[in-house]
Amino acid sequence: MGVRGTPPDAEVVALVLAGDTEAFGVVIRRYEAGLLRFATRMLGSRDAAADAVAESFVRAYRHLASCREPARLRTWLYRIVTNRCKSHLVRRSVADVPLDDGSAAEGAGGSRMSTIDPRIHQVLDGELAADAVPSELRRAVVQLAAAAGLLAAPPASPAASLESRVMAEIRRPVPSRAHRLMRWLVTPRAIILRVRPAWSVAFAVVVAALTLFTADDGGPELAEHEGIAQFVGQFPEAQSVHVVGTFNDWRPGSIALEDHDHDGVWRATVVLPAGTYEYMFVVDGERWVPDHLAERLVADNFGRENSVVIVRPVRR
């Protein structure tokens, strides 16, 4: 919806998709303040919030064509910022918790993830009247408003505005193929192990033999702080299933599950750095579904639940 004569969100999205990069500045100016307040409350730091919001705007620009309902651009942006904040929190919790302490990691990952009632965010953003929430939430509203006011104080030294940071990034020329290839080769990434059904038993035997009997010179090995995550979901009618989470910045399409036996059970085995991660399944590119067989579930800020997996380093 337009504000003070500015075009509505759907119109701005159409302009950007038609090649008008500068029109994205309208989106930034329209939602920057609210997203910064939201991210500051999630992360407890205005600097970290500014980084998360800037990253979210860049990601939104690059994936704007996947916004299915441009008229609901605001909701889509808040979802992206929420996921970026979760990624920041997971990285922070993994750094703070010993990797060999599974229960402690699980507690740290879960306790930081999403403890603020979404109605509090709505009150603080002026979308809901304070008297519309239960009395036990009003005290939290007052405390968070005071904290957000302190965190929102302007920095002592001048700095580039968030809009200028984002626009500089999206105006940057697309890297050449050679540059993208080199960056792909040097960037750590999740590895999906795909196994043909006819060889699955043999593969399992070989893996077990390598694990139990080989010395240092036998086959590929995981790094010291890496582990294996196995994702399994039963979706009999699905045409495609992907897993997204804090380990891949909630990016759909990057890690696919496969149903080799056509029995409706989709699987993927992924090598990840040891730590605690939130994730969901994306079915047929549209339906986001938690894994109810996961080690635990945690609520997000949109009334849904994310699954949690703890990846432990492989013992040698």
How far, in Å, CA of 257 to CA of 230, rounded? 10
CA distance 43 to 91: 12
* Domain span holding position 304: 183-311
Q: Could you tell me if residue 257 is inside a domain?
A: yes
236, 284: one domain? yes
The whole-number average pLDDT for the span 101-115 is 42
pLDDT, one tens digit per residue, over 116-173 is 666 776 766 666 777 777 877 777 767 666 655 544 444 444 346 888 888 888 887 6
Q: Are residues 164 and 211 located together in one domain of the fold?
A: no
Is position 3 within any domain?
no
How far is residue 232's CA from residue 267's CA, in Å, rounded to a whole number?
A: 5
Model confidence at 199: pLDDT above 60: no
Residue keyed to tokens 């540059």: 179
Residues 54 and 157 in one domain: yes
For residues 231 and 163, membership in a common domain is answered with no
Instruction: Give percent of the chain with pLDDT exceeding 70.
Output: 64
> CA quadruple 44, 120, 51, 108: dihedral positive or negative?
positive
Do 150 and 191 fall into the same domain? no
Q: Indicate if the pLDDT at residue 94 is higher than 60.
A: no
pLDDT of residue 25: 92
| End position of a domain, from candidates 118, 153, 172 | 172
Half-sphere exposure of 283 (CA within 13 A, CB side): 16
- Based on the fold, state whether residues 126 and 264 are members of the same structural domain: no
Three-class DSSP labels, 34-76: HHHHHHHHHHCCHHHHHHHHHHHHHHHHHCHHHCCCHHHHHHH
Q: Please report the pLDDT score of residue 80 as a whole number.
A: 93
Number of domains in the chain: 2
Rounded CA-CA distance 224/313 in Å is: 7
What's the confidence (pLDDT) of residue 17? 92
Is residue 19 in a domain? yes
pLDDT higher for 16 or 316?
16
Between CA 68 and CA 53 the distance in angstroms is: 21
- pLDDT value, residue 110: 41
Task: Write the CATH number for 20.
Answer: 1.10.1740.10
Count CB atoms within 10 A of the CB of residue 131: 8
* Judgement on whether residues 162 and 15 belong to the same structural domain of the protein: yes
Which domain-ending residue is among 144, 172, 200?
Answer: 172
For the cut 90, the answer to whether the pLDDT of residue 16 exceeds it is yes
Q: What is the pTM of this model?
A: 0.45
Q: Among 141, 172, 203, identify where a domain stops.
A: 172
Confidence (pLDDT) at 175: 60
| More confident site: 72 or 157 | 72
- Average pLDDT along the chain: 76
282: phi then psi, degrees, rounded to nearest 5: -115, 115
Same domain, 65 and 158: yes
Q: Given a cut of 50, is residue 217 above it in pLDDT?
A: no
Which secondary-structure segment (H or E) carries 87?
Answer: helix 73-96
> Quick one: 270 and 304 in the same domain?
yes
227 and 114 share one domain = no
Phi, psi (5° rounding) for residue 30? -70, -35
Query: Could you tell me the two tokens for 105?
Result: 């990691």
Q: Do residues 167 and 188 share a domain?
A: no
* Cβ–Cβ under 8 Å, residues 229 and 276: no
Above 80 in pLDDT, residue 200? no
Other residues' Cβ atoms within 10 Å of the Cβ of residue 309: 25
Residues 100 and 243 occupy one common structural domain: no
What pLDDT was estimated at residue 216?
47
Task: Report if residue 22 sits inside a domain.
Answer: yes
pLDDT value for 232: 93
Domain-embedded: residue 67? yes
pLDDT score at 10: 93
Mean pLDDT along residues 300-305: 72
| Amino acid 219: pLDDT | 38
